[in-house]
Structure 1
């Protein structure tokens, strides 16, 4: 019961902190938002330069927001990953997304071990799928890669497979979060430039990567089943 109360308080505090940081960003970027609301294609270069002229303070805020949303189950970091792309471009946006995702996943694993009854997660379909694969490490990489698979369950499997082996726990996280960390940043940059063609490419890439990842998971599961029967 005590752990449940702490989890609820942590979720509320994380949400409040996230809203405060988001409000701070709104105040910092209010001139750019006003220009965007009265957008003119002649002002596009001015808008991009204004948006990208902010310093390390705003970058730190977004880094924290992203890490918090990854670390606390129930929160989503997608919008902030896109925002990083809008504010810092595809390259720097990707770096911020990638590193903050890794940090958030590390914190999440610590929280799972201290505040959650991890045995309950072993009943989930995702847990049974990932632990029943021919290559569990590849399954973990794909698990971290697909946004609609709950990070908490993937992290639980990671803890179970790589018990007390921090380096092995980090490998699937570092690799798995790369594709969508970049796609979110690239998509954000496309939104700022109002480039419909690039946005369509991002959406197609999302769908293709997700389908390929799911296909690999199902193939690995089928291989494991055939191996057992043989």
Structure 2
């Protein structure tokens, strides 16, 4: 009975945190929409001057950079929700390199928030999916490398990777290092992809999407090699 009450309490805390997160997202998004409203109207105009639009879009200062980083990290902190569209928008609104830096900061912060919440709430329920991720990461002799690869692949929910990292008792320093290194490839691809889309370079955007697929295949290849090595050493 006591155990069931604890489980219900944890679920209630998570619901409250998600509601607070969503409310913050709505507030920050509303501020950004207000800031970018003139540019968004021009973007819908078929007669728009692309060069002028680029200059006005990217003429926003540190305040909007901070708000976009905050918005991207808050989206990334919600379990099961992808913030990839915001990572692409960072590239659209601030260009390739600044968008890339914003994505790295936001994605790292989002993962750190998720890990902090999981640890504080002390989640213990393990679904089959969580068990699979933990098992996959535990196959790597170097858990830090496995964790870094887990963060690299956009198709693997970051909530699952963070949960697995805590269950495998990977210390905070290694976990944060793996987070920062792991989010770099996808952050780079989304920012550059957004910039290419904004500039109308559709061929380059296709290359970026292909690179995301290559990342997924790379993870699968490395995972298979580790699995084969494990079977041979038994």
* TM above 0.5: yes
1:115 counterpart residue number: 121
Worse-matched range after superposition: 95-104 or 115-124? 115-124
Question: What is the TM-score with the length of structure 1 in the denominator?
Answer: 0.91
Following the alignment from structure 2 to structure 1, what is the Cα–Cα distance between the partners of residues 167 and 9?
24
The Cα of 1:25 is off from its aligned counterpart by 1.1
SS at match of 1:177: helix
Q: 1:119 to 1:3 in 2, by over 3 A?
A: closer
Q: Tell me, which stretches of 5 or more residues in structure 1 are unaligned?
A: none
What is residue 79 of structure 1 aligned with on the other side? 85
Question: If the length of structure 2 is used for normalisation, what is the TM-score?
Answer: 0.90
**Which is further off, 16-25 or 53-62?**
16-25
Q: 5 Å matches for 1:1-230? A: 1-40=8-47, 43-120=49-126, 124-163=131-170, 165-228=171-234
Structure 1 residues 181-203: Cα deviation after superposition (integer angstroms, max 9, x where no partner): 01010011112111111111111
**Where does structure 2 lack aligned partners over 5 or more consecutive residues?**
1-7
Dislocated runs of 4+, deviation >4 Å = none
CA-CA distance at 1:134 after TM superposition: 3.4
**Residues of 2 paired with 1:174 and 1:217: CA distance?**
21
Q: 3-state DSSP class of the match of 1:124?
A: helix
Gap change, CA 1:65 and 1:59, over 3 Å in 2 = same
Question: What are the superposed Cα offsets for residues 137-187 of structure 1, whole Å, 9 maximum, x if unpaired?
Answer: 221111000111121221122223344x32212221111110000101001
Cα distance in 1 between the residues matched to 2:65 and 2:210 = 28
1-side partners of 2:209 and 2:9: how far apart?
Answer: 42
**d(CA) in 2 for partners of 1:40 and 1:227?**
65
- 2:134–2:167: 8 Å Cα contact kept in structure 1? no
